[in-house]
Amino acid sequence: MSHNAESTAFRSALEVIRAVEPRVADAIGAELADQRESLKLIASENYASPATLLAMGNWFSDKYAEGTVGRRFYAGCQNVDTVEALAAEHARELFGATHAYVQPHSGIDANLVAFWAILADRVESPALKKAQKRHVNDLTEEDWFALRRELGDQRMLGMSLDAGGHLTHGFRPNISGKMFDQRSYGTDPATGLIDYDRVAEAAREFRPLILVAGYSAYPRKVNFRIMREIADSVGATFMVDMAHFAGLVAGKVFTGDFDPVPHAHIVTTTTHKSLRGPRGGMVLCGPELADQVDRGCPMVLGGPLPHVMAAKAVALAEARRADFADYAQRIVDNAQALADGLLRRGATLVTGGTDNHLVLIDVSGYGLTGRQAEQALLDSGIVTNRNAVPQDPNGAWYTSGIRIGTPALTTRGLGAAEMDATAELMHTVLDRTSPGTGPDGAPSKAKYVLDPAVAEQVGKQAADLLTPFPLYPEVNLT
């Protein structure tokens, strides 16, 4: 039995939980076991440090703290002020930002804070100023009617979902697509790359209030200097959602034209993914938007989560260490090694490779839908997620793509040789999987056929590949 601090802390926590609801304790232990045994290739997931995880399980969870540092609507928040100020300080120093707002609970919350801040800054609306002092759930129908009338048809231009953008960049079923008169820019059909001339043309024609850059499934860098020039040319506010690649910015892998912070009016991000922190969001901006951003609560957010802000402070402090830059570079090196391994085995990759942490495989070359490929890989111990490719004929549910990423496996210590072995395992599964049929005998976009012996063998090889790279080796629950 291990008696180090981490093992003692987690083991003791599970014992306390088990005394109240043993099934929850069992599920927590099972989750650790599952993550230890799986090749986790989901581009938006990572492994937070024990210190970050432990920072979330404490008495800060008991506190209400609406407002901002030094200006709370509840008494007794002096310790919350300390951790929120620390998280904001680390964020400013890490990213070179003037202002950091660390309260958002998620990436979509961060984007909503940014959207409303831009509207409040750019649009003269007494109804909006009234709404900013309240939470959206407290607004009456009359309030919303006045707000919609005064805001009018404000326009937003963002990357389309099938080209790699995110649903919060104007996807119609999302609130961002309902708040704004929205239009999307895509990628070049031949290359899969952003065509900046076409983006500029769309901006000149559409005249958006907000130009959004950033992605969830675009495997290349974005030139934020050019995007800012496009925004300036039409008087738009330039917003960047760097949720996926924030760790690459923090680690100084993306610099100059590819670092969004010096170029954007406002930047949003999650704090997990490549940044390797707790699940949460954050907004960075200059002094012009700082006051509006700080009104995120109560306009969009409810009570902040002080225990998560404490964990953000810990994770951001970790990201300021010298070894984080090495980690960030290895993420990209591993993604490129994984892409090369897949290409050499005949896989088709959107844009033909990657510059960042993710790879997008067009699995139609294997005769599969993304849903079939995702499940066949999961059966074989490889965790991925299906994702649309540009002009996807199968839509956003079944898709034609598989998105994979390297932040999590890089955290475990895997390198280029293991990425090539992973490419071999993935190719084996995809090559040996065939489409299935539905109950009526018709071709199915969900059913598939994979010899269980192949899945079992690949799963064993995946487990063997991970053996030299234990997950949370400092944590022993037995």
Burial profile 141-155: b = 16 or more Cβ within 10 angstroms, e = fewer: eeeeebbeeebeebb
The conformation of residue 417, written as its DSSP 8-state character, comes to H
Contacts of residue 211, Cβ cutoff 8 Å, sequence gap at least 6: 156, 157, 158, 203, 227, 230, 231, 234, 236, 237, 238, 239
Contact 294, 284 (CB under 8 A): no
Neighbour count for residue 231 (Cβ, 10 Å): 26
DSSP, collapsed to helix, strand or coil, labels residue 441 as: coil
Q: Distance between CA atoms of 93 and 269, rounded to whole angstroms?
A: 16
CATH code, residues 323-466: 3.90.1150.10
pLDDT at 1: 54
Residues 208-247 have pLDDT tens digits of 999 999 999 999 999 999 999 999 999 999 999 999 999 9
DSSP per residue over 155-199, as a string?
EEEEE-TTTT--GGGT-TTSHHHHHSEEEEE---TTT-S--HHHH
Phi, psi of 177 (to 5 degrees): -80, -10
Determine which of 29-38, 121-130, 250-259, 342-351 has the lowest per-residue pLDDT on average. 121-130
Lowest mean pLDDT among 142-156, 208-222, 231-245, 418-432: 142-156
> Catalytic annotation on 6?
no
pLDDT digits (tens, 9 = 90+) for 284-333: 999 999 999 999 988 888 889 999 999 999 999 999 999 999 999 999 99
Contact 410, 337 (CB under 8 A): no
**With 90 as the cut, is the pLDDT of residue 145 above it?**
no
d(CA 256, CA 264): 12
Query: What pLDDT sits at residue 167?
Result: 78
pLDDT value, residue 362:
98
* pLDDT score for 134: 67
Catalytic residue among 228, 273, 312, 371: 273
Per-domain boundaries in the chain: 59-319, 323-466
What sign does the CA torsion over 122, 125, 128, 133 have? Answer: positive
- Contact between 116 and 101 (Cβ < 8 Å): no
Active site residue 451: no
Quick check: is 270 catalytic?
yes
Report the pLDDT value the prediction gives residue 159, as an integer from 0 to 100: 95
pLDDT of residue 162: 87
SS3 for 416? helix
Averaged pLDDT of the chain: 93
Please tell me which residue in 37, 45, 66, 89 is annotated as part of the active site.
66
Q: What is the pLDDT, as a whole number, of residue 431?
A: 98
241 is catalytic: yes
Q: Which pair of structure tokens corresponds to residue 168?
A: 């919060």
Catalytic residue among 241, 318, 355, 418: 241
Active-site choice (40, 220, 228, 279): 279
Q: Which residues pair with 448 in a beta bridge?
A: 435
pLDDT score of 123: 81
- Give helix then strand counts, H and E, for the chain: 20, 16
Which pLDDT score is estimated for 323?
A: 96
Q: Global pTM?
A: 0.93
Q: Spell out the residues 6+ positions from residue 201 whose beta carbon is closer than 8 angstroms to its own.
A: none
333 is catalytic: no
Please give the helix or strand (H or E) that residue 398 lies within, else none. Answer: helix 395-398
Q: Residue 349 has what DSSP assignment? A: B
Find the catalytic residue in 8, 37, 63, 64: 64
- In b/e form, how buried is each residue of 161-172, taking b as 16+ CB within 10 angstroms? bbbbbbbbbbbe
Q: Could you read off the pLDDT of 347-401 as tens digits, one per residue?
A: 999 999 999 999 999 999 999 999 999 999 999 999 999 999 999 999 989 999 9
How sure is the predictor about 137, in pLDDT bands with cuts at 50, 70 and 90? low
Instruction: Indicate whether 128 pLDDT > 80.
Output: no
The fold of 59-319 is Aspartate Aminotransferase; domain 2 (3.40.640)
pLDDT attached to residue 177:
73
Query: Hey, how many other C-beta atoms are within 10 angstroms of the C-beta on 233?
Result: 12
CA distances from 230 to 73, 183, 195, 257 (A): 41, 15, 12, 14
Q: Of these residues, 237, 268, 269, 270, which one is catalytic?
A: 270
Q: Rounded to an integer, what distance in angstroms lies between the CA atom of residue 424 and that of residue 446?
A: 24
Confidence of residue 439 (pLDDT cuts 50, 70, 90): confident
Q: How far is CA 436 from CA 367, 368, 429, 446, in A?
A: 11, 10, 15, 8
Query: Quick check: 433 and 448 in contact, CB under 8 A?
Result: yes
Q: What pLDDT does 136 receive?
A: 63
* Dist. CA 321–CA 154, nearest whole Å: 42
93 is known as an active-site residue: no
Any bridge partners for residue 267, and if so which? 240, 284
**Per-residue confidence at 342, pLDDT binned at 50, 70, 90?**
very high
Query: Is 45's pLDDT higher than 70?
Result: yes
